[in-house]
Structure 1
């Protein structure tokens, strides 16, 4: 019998059929240079059981609603996605929560939908893309949205999007550009004072914050020079973000993240289904081998419980279905092959 799942995954995506159809009609069959993956609630639960995930806070990845030129259509799609997500969470209590989709860059419509999703649909927070049609988080004109979120002490999941520039041939956006996109948004949120003016918003940065932990001191010097602030104060603002471990709990990235982030600010993330099962196994394994038991327990569950109090008293459910030995072993073998490729640069 499978062990009870325990992890809380704050970085897992949904691709509802109606949303996939709209993207296809717009000629969008990729996100970040990867083909749109298949998704269903059943496949999500199967993957969650495989990784030992009790609850997933799901979200819609890039492009969100930003591919629609008409603001009214974008607002309608955001409402439809949030109604779907709320229904998914209601149908699978304790297994799914969700971050609401907002029709950015329309600030007024986004504030309205954020209030509806948080107040009426019990959303666990909202998703904001790092940039929307070239406008980054932290730019001027977003205060109505920040006020709405701050008043509700909202959790904001910051997810990267394609950079507002042509992709470089041979470099898929998800491999490097996404990390820069998140870093740019974090930089501006600190540089332009959003995190200080709206202190009750909790920002979660995808993929260990992009380059933020690694380049934090360099960025602090630049922001301090630009604004006249103390570099130490800037560093404290940068350390105030939360960070997920999606595709980032590697032997190279994880020590930097843990050395930089405040205690309690690192959360488990899988990036499924855009990250395939083998990648999920590999990076989950990085947590299991690269941390002590107390740190691992905090990242896997207790840090997220503090951020999402409703999960604090939730009984850990047993898997909805047994995870077969064959499925687990197959994923482990695929993860092992991925590890071999990563440590043997000459292999293909």
Structure 2
């Protein structure tokens, strides 16, 4: 078996598995007779470890291995199981999703969750977009808008992550996420007082959050990094969507996609909105958006810590100060 892992610095969050572990996982998934010819670790993901594995089938498959349970933050616990539970609800974009071939959450082979999926067609969108003149990117972002809009039409019966915990009200779900984020920041030695202040404000203004009464499907991480596109096509077209592990039920305006769309270049934001639709513009929606921004900024702070991007962490505090200032003014 030819094995090509990614070389990482000591102490890096992602930990590769061994060639023998890959063989054992493949035997568990496809039978004792399977022959693993090669495995190549893929980048640039920052959470699960992913491998392109040749098992002698018509085409290679993807192996994704979750971090050890003890290394997962509260706000990202059991994300792989969360994605597995949520896949049926993404039927609206089923042709774009990888198919799950096998999943093993028993920890009998290794002490981590893992699953095998089909390999999506195309090239990673960041790579494909770099090969296109920026003036030709509009169809890609219009496609993102269409996909996000379709996902957000799916209705649920509770709020919160796909695999739980579930919440009867949206306010409960938002407060729980903010409190878990603060606790995670405490665990890694980062100041969480600003996140706690937002959580306290969310408790005081639960009635505003609870105006959202119909849970909708949220992807949680839909943007360029988790999309495949046709390589060499005259128009940049999306061919696949992956990494739905952050999926949850909530207010569409709280989805990561909406947060990032509001921060991207104006021409890309316009293209996205052409198909997704205009942003919510009521005073109530604008106030709720401040809580959503705080949720995302807290998660970004944790991710920057995990990736060792210490120079970028202070910016999250600057942005959070602005959110808190606007919250105080809004109420």
TM-score, normalised to structure 1, is 0.27
TM-score, normalised to structure 2, is 0.28
Q: Which has the larger radius of gyration?
A: 2
